[in-house]
Amino acid sequence: MTSAVVAALDHLVSRVIAAAPLPAEPFDPDWRSPCEQGAPWNDEAGEQRVNWSPSLRPSERLEALVGLSRALDLNLHPDIEAYYARWWSAGLDARAPFGRIRLILLWNEDDAARLVENLLGHALWQRRQRRPFTVFVATVEPDDGTFISVENESGRVLLERAGEGPLRTLAASLAEFLHALEPRGG
């Protein structure tokens, strides 16, 4: 694994856990996760929720990403593999120097498959536009059509607008970008 990305992500996750030890997500019995903590419970509105905490994945390799590499006939940047293969987690809310974001992480294996499906569509669009392949890692909040991605070839972190492509470079590497983030409440 890319140790700089792992160290930066681990540091951010530890700060998120310290700030909000057991956040809750809506409970879906068909969408279980290794990061769920305890039994589901009902909130004030009667909706079922479950507490969760980021959970280390048991493997440094995410098979869904191996399939993506094969399908696109390219090698994924090691930072991308390290980022997505490290933790099971719901999205993590953070403050970036330019505003609020939500890191995209994987809830379960099915979520990994869904990410790959989305990335395949994204890659096909980029190829038609003759743009370099990027992998999204975060959304910008409030949603204005922009998202944060890692350029596969260089590892640069970019701010992109859906349907338009890169707007600007945010960091030279994913580790640098992650180090600049601060945890924030939902």
Domain span at residue 78?
A: 3-12+55-183
The enclosing domain of 79 has a CATH number of: 3.40.1580.20
pLDDT of 84 higher than 90: yes
Is residue 19 included in any domain, yes or no? Answer: no
Is residue 128 included in any domain, yes or no? Answer: yes
Quick one: pLDDT band at residue 2, thresholds 50, 70, 90?
low
Measured in degrees and rounded to the nearest 5, phi and psi for residue 162 equal: -55, 130
Is residue 45 included in any domain, yes or no? Answer: no
Is residue 43 included in any domain, yes or no? Answer: no
Is residue 164 included in any domain, yes or no? Answer: yes
* Residue 32 CB partners (closer than 8 Å, separation 6+): 108
pLDDT of 103 higher than 70: yes
Percent of the chain exceeding pLDDT 70 equals: 98
pLDDT in tens, 138-182: 999 988 899 999 999 999 999 999 888 899 999 999 999 999 999
pLDDT of 1 higher than 70: no
- Structurally, the chain folds into a number of domains equal to 1
Which pLDDT value is given to residue 60? 77
The CA-based dihedral angle spanning residues 87, 91, 94, 99, taken in that order and rounded to the nearest 10 degrees: 140
Burial class (CB in 10 A: 0-12, 13-18, 19+), 39: exposed
Is residue 146 included in any domain, yes or no? Answer: yes
Is residue 95 included in any domain, yes or no? Answer: yes
Is residue 44 included in any domain, yes or no? Answer: no
pLDDT of 186 higher than 60: no
Distance CA 47, CA 182 (A): 30
pTM above 0.95, yes or no: no
Tell me the average pLDDT of the chain.
93
Strand partners, 164: none
Quick one: pLDDT band at residue 63, thresholds 50, 70, 90?
confident
